[in-house]
A and B are shown apart, each in its own frame.
Chain A
Amino acid sequence: AQTVTQSQPEMSVQEAETVTLSCTYDTSESDYYLFWYKQPPSRQMILVIRQEAYKQQNATENRFSVNFQKAAKSFSLKISDSQLGDAAMYFCARNLRVTSGTYKYIFGTGTRLKV
């Protein structure tokens, strides 16, 4: 099954501390993309970071970085120097090929982060 699993329904972090949100996924493909989206109380879905599976280097966007372990099919999000504005629901997602050149997206169940 092509699934995305977020095993932590809720996490808490103190301001200025670091927190890591976990995500694992299933895939039979070798080339795919992984995403982390943030949903604040406004309920708007906002892209946080994106990782290309064929790249070894972990993606980084300011205070947000990922730990991508392709063999383990793991894609965790690290938030450094946590701020009050980081409090939100975080969703992990991956793309799934429908046809050559077209994709749909599979989302995890989300992790609520409290700061």
Chain B
Amino acid sequence: DTGVSQNPRHKITKRGQNVTFRCDPISEHNRLYWYRQTLGQGPEFLTYFQNEAQLEKSRLLSDRFSAERPKGSFSTLEIQRTEQGDSAMYLCASSLGHGGSYNEQFFGPGTRLTVL
């Protein structure tokens, strides 16, 4: 399967712990996105990379959240000092685009985070 993969698929943690999620995009895709989705809502944009550069961060992304894409391939999303309000599905998506073009995104299955 050459789609977007995310690990782990599920994560249960205690409040105050740190968690890290990984996303492996489709190999030739240069753009990578992180979203958060809660029940009854659509995906909310968190951050976006073009190659290894993080070009935009949502105001939703507090200083407890950090994302990296060190070699322009896989990406990690870390949440420090988790809070119960961080419980959600974290989605990763990738796409291929250059300049001002904007193409459809391919989504991974998500990582479901539960903070106790």
A binds B: no
Q: Which residues of A contact B (CB under 8 A)?
A: none
Chain B positions near chain A (C-beta within 8 angstroms): none
